[in-house]
Structure 1
Amino acid sequence: SEAAFAEPEIMYTTALVVEEGNPFGVETLDDVQEAMDNGEDITLSVLTAGIEANYATEMGLDYQGVGSADEGLEMVQGGRADVFAMTAISLNQMAEDAQGVEVTEGFVQEIDGIKQYGAGSTVFRLDDTDTLNEYNGHLAELKESGELLDILSEFGFTEAEVPPAEMSAEALCAGDLEALQDIEN
């Protein structure tokens, strides 16, 4: 290991940008899959380099890859895509002043029954264990008191992006998503 990670500070969820009124009624990629399976003419767009492209591939969804978030938003605005999937916090900021579209609530995608949690954290040098432990202690206090949400909400984050106390850096760094399946988010 090259670095030490603090406990997670934020959680990344996925959301969908859809035409205003959400004509297909989709709230998750599972809904998009169901619409496609039912033969509906629904077009999904994702960032080629985004995690949602991996989700779509794993789910067997047809999609149009785009090179930028702006391009994905413009695809929906221009009627060239019905849905653009990306990180919820980013989409909420982007679509705030965008015309003719809305953003669904953020969600954690499941692939083969496993919730695909993603999180952000502060990184420390391996030798800085005292600082890391002190940081994690204060972070736990902020989470427990609700103050972390107060701080994050100033930057557009919601309760959906605050990781539950049970979500650990150890499980995330090990890629052990199965260990996180029972947490409430």
Structure 2
Amino acid sequence: MQTGMDILKAAIGTSVPTAQGATASSANPNWRPYTFVPPYDEADVNTVLAAKTLGFHSISGEAVTGADASIEQFVPSYYWEDWTDDGLFLGYNDVDAEFKPAFNAFLSSNNNYFLIEIHPNTFYSGPYDEDGNWVGFYQTEQQQKDSAAFEAAIQWMISTGGDQIQFTTIEQAYQADHATT
């Protein structure tokens, strides 16, 4: 069974820094983001139209919060990632106090997806320092702890949810939800 990290790497590929500061990529040529996340979770109608014109078919659900009524008119034709509080987890600060209760609430809910947002700097720093100098990719002590906590959380999810648990990307979930039979 793949872990969340395996799926992330398979979906977007990996980038390997070279000694010259360039990046040798094994990026998946078929991967393309289709989810638009408006900067600062704010968008207007023109932003949403531009994103749709560029091929994005999903927009981050956070953009709906406080959005003006004209953006909300796009709901029938635009896939809004409407993640609810019991389907969204944003951190790994305290797995026992935050993550496990959130996941258990999800298991007893009617939601199909439990979204875990992962930012690259959660697990790695680099390849440049704050002055722009090449330092390569590395993990701080906290990032090592966060990586271990994430992998432990994945294993706990599998042991807790059993056969109900599958890992997917947002794009794969979109395709499954919009498949025509």
TM class by shorter-chain length? under 0.3
Task: Considering fraction of residues, name the structure with more helix.
Answer: 2
Scaled by the length of structure 2, the TM-score of the pair is: 0.27
Task: Considering fraction of residues, name the structure with more strand.
Answer: 1
Structure with greater contact order relative to length (CA < 8 Å, sep ≥ 6): 1
